[in-house]
Structure 1
Amino acid sequence: MIYLDNSATTRLCAGAIEKMTEAMGCYGNPSSLHSMGLEAQRLLEEARETVCDSLGIRPGSGYSLIFTGSGTEANNLAILGCAAAKQRRVSDRIITTDSEHPSVSKPLGRLEEAGLTIVRLHTRGGVIDFDEYREELLRGAYMVTVMMVNNETGAVYDVAGMFDLAKQLCPGVITHCDATQGYLKFAFTPQKIKADLVTISAHKIHGPKGVGALSVSPEIKKRKAIVPIILGGGQEEEFRSGTENLICIAGFGGAAAEYAPRAEEYAKDIAALRDYTEKKLEELPGIRINRPRGMRAPHIISLTLPGIKSETMVNFLSSKGIAVSGGSACSSRREKVSAALLGFGLERHEAACSLRISLCRTNTKDDVDALCSALSEGIATLVRAAEL
């Protein structure tokens, strides 16, 4: 199988497998005081330190890294946990975009139903209008939550500039960045982008599924501006109760340790392969690349097919041993047009005929050539079938 769906998930790397194997032999509870519990705690904190280092969080900085069960849970903790905190009432407005991941947009929808005001900035062409944004900030906000990289179009949003402006115009505002697709694709730290809360996930960097993390700034902790949404034994500094998933957390650390030292090199190589891929794709009849007008991620390509439904082409390519996506894998089994693609500026019929190709460090030009050959066959075959 030629795997070109790396924004959905990635293959486990050797570093993750090694650390997970080590953790499998340590079945003590990290909260227990006996020797096996202490060994589990050591592995847990070793992984935390490694992931913190990969995110630029230094010892003594006051930042916390809270392990969760997924990036989705980390986003829910950030949004719902801040909404539930007593200290949030500087405003009832949250500013976001019209193209966030469902793990952000759906919790925001729940808060909107409860009476809060959710402002959704336009992202046409993958760019946020700062004049529109400034006007909304001047009306007040207690939170700004914006993704770093759009998981369907690859558009990169200027979260550093947005959060800096928010801090200037809205004292006390909480800034949250879903950096799931940007983590280790771009060099950043929570401090540099002025993010109080940052979401990351292991399985986007060749770590295991079932573990994410949320970084929390010292200011947010001091203000008690976030409260847990899962209650119980008080693990993870009481932000996320439940016995930690040590095996997957260890794998997260292993993946970060392997990826982080060469992240810049990997990003350059992947971007070069992306450019090669787009050049080959544009040689095919009827294909249009949905390029963001601003900055873009190195690993994501969005394209629109000539009148062929995305699920039809996904199934055809799968039969040829090639894996791509019709959009976000979190929603691809439900027949609903992508809000991100509509926000980007596509018409509904165009969004329904769009594919996402997402690359990783192990993909090659041979993979791309095979994809383009299969797409060419599919376009000819499937278009003819639609015309009969």
Structure 2
Amino acid sequence: MKLQRKNRRALALGAFAVSGALALTACGSDDTGNSNGGDSSASAQAGNIKCDDAKGQLLADGSSAQKNAIDTWVKSFTAACSGVQINYKGSGSGAGVTAFTQGQVAFAGSDSALKPEEVTASKSVCKGGQGIDLPMVGGPIAVGFNVPGVDKLVLNAETIAKIFDSKITNWNDAAIKKLNPDAKLPDLKIQAFHRSDESGTTDNFTKYLIAASPANWKYSGGKAWQAKGGQSASGSSGVAQQVKQTSGAISYMELSYAKDGIVPVTVDTGASAPVEATVENATKAIAAAKVVGTGKDLSLELDRATKAEGAYPITLVTYEIVCDKGNKADTLPATKAFLRYIASEDGQGQLSAAGYAPIPDDIIAKVRTTIEGLS
């Protein structure tokens, strides 16, 4: 079904990382900014946040893709709800789902929906209920590169697949030259980096390759990297750091990490013009998503092989995974209050400036209703 495109507010944000006063003591390596406890946007947001009975420490883990968004949200939320401390580790989707099914966290972030066996495992933690997927953050997966003398690069699904499968190994390869006739491509070895940890970003990136270039990507996909060759690093910040410091490097990462010397590839999808990795273009792709989850689960299906004009195909949606029933009594109020805020118009309105895409209107409305029913 066609879904409405979410109207985005232009909100000025301060630094994305959260200060120590907000008790994010285990943020891991994905923090990217400087803390600024006096950020005016956080104060402005605080007036619209409903804390209810939220208090205590809220532990969460999972997707590093949404880490920068979570940090921004936590800053605003804890400015309003001073009795709550939120610790979101951002260890990766695989680690987050494991922590959730083992009852170690109140909620988890994952760039892939729960698998049937993971839903089954969640039932031992969610007494009388099960884990459900709530889409909360969207955005483009940038294919970022660092090639001296090249500030713009067009690739298609075939060349991307061959690069990450070690079939194209030099930047002046004929296939890359054909897509970039005006670029001064050097005689330089390609250094392709992939995630070493189980990652929803890997899952979504390879789903794109499977859908858009099945003849050149013969792997089954999943959170664990399967192709041979290449080099690895942990987390979105890890692969981004490798691309920054390595001449000839290329990797896949969320757009918010593609900066400071990393240039995103423009993707030839077969549309009339190659498509840039932007929030707006990712939103066009996400707006055509379909809800395929059942019951209270709101997992989505994306068209990975889209050729729609201006639709960026390498996108992901990050889900917050929570129990529909059987949440722990001591963390339920804070969990509901925080999820309510990040799904709100104000919460979603912060995403564009942070390099993410808001969830379309029709879907986020269902998310809000589901959150109110958590027990």
Give the TM-score normalised by structure 2.
Answer: 0.31
Which is richer in strand? 2
Decide which structure has the larger Cα Rg and report it.
1
